[in-house]
């Protein structure tokens, strides 16, 4: 599930609006590039067309010169002849083969060191004019003829509006006006008896040329703006959608603030930053006690309002570069930055800040009493390695850090102690619980859970009349593990039900074997955990389990703890009645450890009552406790219930109980829990 959740979050994060923005900007750049490139190409095309016309005119002039010279006329005659017959006369310059002037018209000349070759069908050369200021040092390409750009052309094209009167004629004249003139010399490749011919040309750009260029650019821009507008709208919609996704992804639906997903990501980034590696932080699990009771009293809507109020309160109290988020139910995760020069100072700072925070939280609703606990896991700074200035916290596991803080929080048991810090001991307990859960099923299958029996004796004649079955875990790696190390874990994770069945089967099998072997049998009591009473058809299940081996039901006594009375009273009473109907004796274990002992005696049909061992510990055995014990034994006798006193370790206690008429005694005074073989020897000796 964790991997699936992580992949889903990555997919959502990849659906970013940045690709849409990048695509929009790229399309925008490409669009304007295409428009300006098109304008430039069209302008070049127009100029090229005009140069082509000038070249053709120059070739016509050159052919006229060539014909005159071939008819035996001189160069001077050819110049006059051409000047006489051309409609648009222009300057002509004739040189010999080495570039010396032979003849010319006009007062300017080509600059032969400032020219370039231009291909127009055939290759020709173009040169600067000696009297024209080009504003450039060299002439390398056709664009170098001009000392202006398209924006400048646009300014010149609209430097004045067309005449308002005159109709189409005036507008036509306005369009035909020349806004740019540029003069240059063009070499004309004709045969003039070894002479070279150069003709001066004037390139004109008309107002209509520029308007055509701009109109083409405008049309292209409009055509490109249509998809650009759609792309812009799509980008805006993607940005809005991404913000909605982010809001849904990172906003807690109850508090309206940061949720656990946001907290995880931000905390991992913050703690993993090189800039924060030298600082001490504290992971805090802030927990509201008895939140379920609050919901029962005031309703779910009031509970959500309280959590929302807590979120706003924490938001106002958190400092810059600190983060918090709602984890689940009434739990908030916080990360504090601690101040101090050493570990103890940072710890004290965190403790004082949390104590002030919890005090303020308790007063959020003055008319109601609120209780809060906090678990803290300190996050120390990273030690700098030699020669390294910047370092990072490696493998920052936010979930694990919060689990440590949660473990510390759960270690609190009173309202007086509100703040608990995670320690190595707690980590060892967590590791032990994990080891137990990892190995319990294999241990059950391998028979590592062994039956120990603690005898029960009569206080008067010291006869062995029964026993209690106790479990011991004999692990090949860890040796003998006492019940206190694994029974609470089993009760929490539910494995205790399998262990109950295992112990019942073992005792039923032992009783059947002793009967077959002709050995003396005594009732053996087996504990039935309170979790088992949630099982439907429990009485029938136990009966079938015992019947699988065939002993008498009267030899298998079932012990029920008094705490089971507080779960489901009706189910418990009904199940006990069914078990007694099947012939199983019922014993109430730890009588007197709870707060409703007399009430349970009134409602539950019992055969045996086991007085809790705490009655016989302490210095006031002959005072108030003696009165309670005497009255309890007397009450049990009136109800026809046998009494077992457990935890008896002294002779004076045995004598005291014998005088009160106690039926059985179980404790170290007579015997400790022992393996089955040793118990069998005791039974045989007692017989």
- Kindly report, residue by residue over 551-570, the tens digit of the pLDDT: 999 999 999 876 766 566 78
CA-based nearest residue to 114, from 100, 97, 133: 133
Token pair, residue 668, equals 């170290």
How do strand 101-104 and strand 323-328 relate by DSSP bridges?
unpaired
Higher-pLDDT residue of 237, 494? 494
Q: Model-level pTM?
A: 0.60
DSSP 93-114: EEE-TTS-EEEESSS--EEEEE
Task: Indicate the SS3 state at residue 264.
Answer: helix
pLDDT level of residue 293 (50, 70, 90 thresholds): confident
Asked whether the beta carbons of 183 and 235 are under 8 A apart, the reply is no
Query: pLDDT at residue 612 above 80?
Result: yes
Indicate the Cα dihedral angle 564, 570, 571, 576, nearest 10°: 80
Span 228-246, mean pLDDT?
A: 74
What values do phi and psi take at 85, rounded to 5?
A: -95, -15
- Find how far residue 196's CA is from the centre of its chain: 83
Candidates 646, 649, 652, 677; catalytic one: 646
User: Which domains are delineated in the chain?
Assistant: 20-221 (no CATH), 260-422 (3.30.70.270), 432-686 (3.20.20.450)
Reported as a single tens digit per residue, the pLDDT across 448-490 is 999 999 999 999 989 999 999 999 999 999 999 999 999 999 9
Among 177-186, 203-212, 385-394, 651-660, name the one with the lowest average pLDDT.
Answer: 385-394
- Is 304 one of the catalytic residues? no
Output the average pLDDT for the chain: 83
pLDDT of residue 286: 93
How far apart CA 401 and CA 378 sit, in angstroms, is 9
CB-based contacts of 41-45 (< 8 A; 24+ apart in sequence): 42/212, 42/213, 42/216, 42/217, 43/150, 43/153, 43/213, 44/142, 44/143
pLDDT in tens, 632-667: 899 888 889 999 999 998 898 999 999 989 999 999
Asked whether residue 435 carries a pLDDT value surpassing 90, the answer given is: yes
Render pLDDT for 116-170 as a digit per residue (tens, 0 to 9).
Answer: 777 655 567 888 888 876 555 555 555 555 555 666 777 777 767 665 555 677 7
Break the chain down into helix, strand, coil percent, rounded to 5.
50, 20, 25
pLDDT band at 447 (very low <50, low <70, confident <90, very high): very high
pLDDT exceeds 70 at position 11? no
Listed ranges 89-103, 366-380, 505-519; the one with the highest mean pLDDT: 505-519
């Amino acid at each position: 599930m964790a991997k699936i959740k992580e992949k889903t979050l990555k997919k959502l994060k990849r659906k970013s609006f940045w690709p849409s923005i990048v695509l929009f900007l790229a399309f925008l750049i490409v669009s304007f590039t295409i428009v300006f490139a098109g304008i430039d190409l069209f302008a070049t095309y127009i100029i090229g067309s005009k140069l082509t016309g000038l070249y053709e005119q120059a070739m016509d002039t050159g052919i006229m010169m060539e014909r005159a010279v071939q008819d035996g006329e001189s160069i001077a005659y050819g110049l006059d002849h051409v000047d006489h017959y051309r409609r648009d006369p222009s300057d002509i310059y004739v040189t010999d083969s080495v570039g010396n002037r032979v003849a010319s018209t006009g007062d300017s000349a080509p600059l032969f060191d400032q020219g370039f070759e231009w291909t127009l069908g055939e290759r020709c050369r173009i040169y600067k004019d000696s009297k024209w200021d080009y504003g450039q040092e060299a002439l390398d390409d056709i664009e170098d003829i001009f000392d202006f750009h398209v924006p400048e052309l646009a300014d010149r094209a609209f430097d004045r509006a067309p005449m308002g009167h005159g109709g189409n004629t005036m507008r036509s004249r306005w369009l035909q006006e020349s806004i740019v003139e540029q003069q240059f010399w063009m070499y004309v490749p004709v045969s003039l008896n070894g002479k070279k011919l150069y003709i001066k040309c004037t390139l004109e750009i008309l107002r209509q040329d520029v308007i055509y260029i701009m109109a083409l650019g405008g049309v292209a821009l409009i055509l490109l703006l249509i998809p650009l507008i759609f792309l812009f709208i799509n980008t805006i919609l993607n940005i809005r959608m991404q913000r909605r996704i982010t809001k849904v992804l990172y906003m807690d639906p109850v508090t309206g603030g940061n949720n656990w997903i946001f907290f995880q990501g931000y905390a991992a980034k913050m703690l993993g930053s090189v800039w924060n590696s030298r600082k001490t932080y504290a992971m805090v699990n802030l927990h509201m006690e008895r939140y379920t009771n609050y919901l029962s009293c005031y309703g779910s809507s009031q509970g959500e309002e309280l959590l929302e109020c807590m979120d706003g309160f924490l938001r106002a109290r958190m400092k810059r570069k600190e983060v918090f988020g709602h984890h689940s139910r009434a739990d908030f995760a916080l990360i504090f930055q601690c101040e101090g020069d050493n570990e103890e100072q940072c710890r004290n700072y965190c403790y004082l800040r949390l104590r002030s925070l919890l005090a303020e939280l308790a007063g959020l609703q003055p008319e109601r009493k609120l209780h809060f606990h906090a678990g803290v896991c300190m996050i120390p700074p990273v030690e700098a390695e030699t020669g390294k200035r910047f370092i990072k916290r490696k493998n920052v596991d936010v979930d694990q850090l919060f689990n440590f803080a949660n473990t510390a929080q759960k270690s609190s048991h009173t309202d007086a102690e509100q703040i608990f810090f995670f320690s190595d001991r707690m980590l060892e307990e967590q590791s032990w619980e994990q080891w137990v859960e990892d190995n319990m099923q294999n241990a059950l299958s391998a028979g590592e859970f062994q039956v120990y029996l603690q005898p029960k004796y009569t206080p008067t004649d010291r006869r062995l009349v029964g026993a209690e079955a106790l479990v011991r875990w004999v692990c090949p790696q860890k040796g003998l593990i006492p019940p206190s190390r694994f029974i609470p874990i089993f009760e929490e994770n539910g494995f205790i039900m399998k262990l109950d069945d295992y112990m019942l089967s073992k005792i039923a099998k032992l009783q059947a074997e002793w009967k077959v072997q002709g050995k003396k049998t005594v009732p053996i009591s087996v504990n039935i955990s309170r979790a088992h009473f949630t099982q439907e058809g429990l009485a029938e299940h136990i009966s079938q389990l015992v019947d699988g081996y065939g002993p008498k039901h009267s030899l298998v006594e079932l012990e029920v703890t008094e705490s089971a009375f507080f779960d489901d009273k009706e189910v418990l009473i009904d199940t006990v009645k069914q078990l007694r109907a099947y012939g199983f004796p019922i014993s109430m274990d730890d009588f007197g450890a709870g707060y409703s002992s007399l009430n349970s005696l009134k409602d539950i049909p019992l055969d045996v009552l086991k007085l809790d061992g705490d009655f016989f510990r302490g210095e006031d055995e002959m005072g108030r406790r003696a009165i309670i014990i005497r009255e309890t034994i007397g009450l049990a006798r009136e109800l026809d219930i046998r009494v077992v006193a457990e935890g008896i370790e002294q002779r004076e206690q045995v004598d005291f109980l014998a005088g009160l008429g106690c039926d059985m005694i179980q404790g170290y005074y007579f015997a400790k829990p022992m393996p089955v073989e040793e118990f069998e020897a005791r039974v045989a000796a007692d017989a």
